[in-house]
Amino acid sequence: MSTLAERLGRVGVWCNAPVFAPLEDVREDLAVVEELGFRAVWYPESVGGRESLSTAAIMLAETEKLIACTGILSVYARDPMATWNGARALSDAYPGRFVLGLGVSHAPSVSARGHDYGRPVPTMRAYLDAMAAVPYRPPEPEPVPVLLASLGPLMLTLAAERAAGSHPYFVPVDHTAFARERLGAGPLLAPELAVVLADDRSTAREAAQGYLDTYLALENYTNNLRRFGFGDDDLAGGGSDRLLDAIVAWGDGDTVCGRVSEHLVAGADHVCIQPLPAGDFQLEQLRELAPALLAL
């Protein structure tokens, strides 16, 4: 049986369109993404968006071989039984084509759901414990790979101990090296990487600014960036040029592929590229990048 890393391939696509865009557009775009040769599509769970497991079911039904990956499913959005038995049902219907990325999300999103945001690592550990105890009366399907949204050392350790690996988001390549060291050699490491095909920094910033503004407003991400030497000047005002260059792979196709390769060399098994601006698959960028990226 092939490993999860082999099934995913070296490069996948991260996009929020499956959660927000009209389904007609999602269907058409997923067909193109699959035709280009990408094997995996990652998508978020967002307040006001489509529910994650339902979204996976739609994506899997509309494609032939594509792997649907939650990046991530919030543990505050449903109880452990709903999550784990929903994941099992997807695995039963589409063996080997669903990856369950779990995360503790962020305080504002959790508050919007009417919950109190707890300590991240104990919350995740308790959720995993509860999932492990969930009964399932149908025949047990192929095991569902579980990845954790892991930024800090304690969550990375939990991912190594209790999951198939880690799916970090909004991270520089230094974090990938740090995560690989913390995870050890076995667990899968699949960081997200924003990309922009652009001739100059101002064009890249224009495409990336909404992305930067969204995630620099969340404490979990800014705290993590501080671990890697980014200070107040980098994190304020929409992000410094230094931060833009570290978080977003921008330039021509060779430059973008080079940045993806940096993450792979640093220890990533699979890099989830997110072409910007966010909101759709940016198919023209994917068409240009696919031949070189899929040859990595």
In tens, the pLDDT along 55-79 reads 999 999 999 999 999 999 999 999 9
Is residue 44 classed exposed, middle or buried when 0-12, 13-18 and 19+ CB atoms within 10 A define those classes? buried
Residues pairing with 74 in the sheet = 103
pTM comes to: 0.97
Burial of 217 (0-12, 13-18, 19+ CB in 10 A): exposed
Query: How confident is residue 254, by pLDDT bands cut at 50, 70 and 90?
Result: very high
Residue type for position 35: E
Condensed to tens digits (0 to 9), the pLDDT of residues 13-40 reads: 999 999 999 999 999 999 999 999 999 9
Greatest CA span in the chain, whole angstroms?
57
Q: What is the pLDDT of residues 82-124, one digit of tens each?
A: 999 999 999 999 999 999 999 999 999 999 999 999 999 999 9
pLDDT in tens, 134-185: 999 999 999 999 999 999 999 999 999 999 999 999 999 999 999 999 999 9
Q: How confident is the model at residue 229 (pLDDT cuts 50, 70, 90)?
A: very high
**Cross-strand partners of 271:** 11
Domain ranges of the chain: 4-293
The pLDDT, as a whole number, for residue 2 is: 85
155 and 120 in contact (C-beta within 8 Å)?
Answer: yes
**Does pLDDT of 1 surpass 70?**
no
Tell me what percent of the residues of the chain surpass a pLDDT of 70: 100
Is residue 262 over pLDDT 90? yes
Q: What is the pLDDT of residue 76?
A: 98
User: What is the fold of 4-293?
Assistant: TIM Barrel (3.20.20)
Bridge partners for 195 per DSSP: 249, 275
CA distance 122 to 154: 10
